[in-house]
Amino acid sequence: MSLEGTQTHENLKAAFAGESQANRRYLYFAKVADVEGYPDIAGNFRDTAEG
């Protein structure tokens, strides 16, 4: 059974893209928190990124 061309396929692609962007955003915020001297907050962002 192929999902190609179905609404389900489009929904899955959109969900994957959104989750991927969120992961990168959390990792970016973790790096900023590290640079600004907030290692505990950075760890929270990393934990969130790892799901």
Domain range list for the chain: 14-50
Q: What is the pLDDT of residue 3?
A: 93
Q: What is the pLDDT of residue 1?
A: 85
CA atoms within 13 A on the CB side of 30: 16
Q: What is the pLDDT of residue 51?
A: 86
Biggest CA–CA distance in the chain, Å, is: 51
Tens of pLDDT along 1-51?
Answer: 899 999 999 999 999 999 999 999 999 999 999 999 999 999 999 999 998
Which long-range contacts does 15-23 make (Cβ < 8 Å, 24+ apart)?
A: 22/49, 23/49
Instruction: Return the closest-CA partner of residue 31 out of 43, 19, 48.
Output: 43
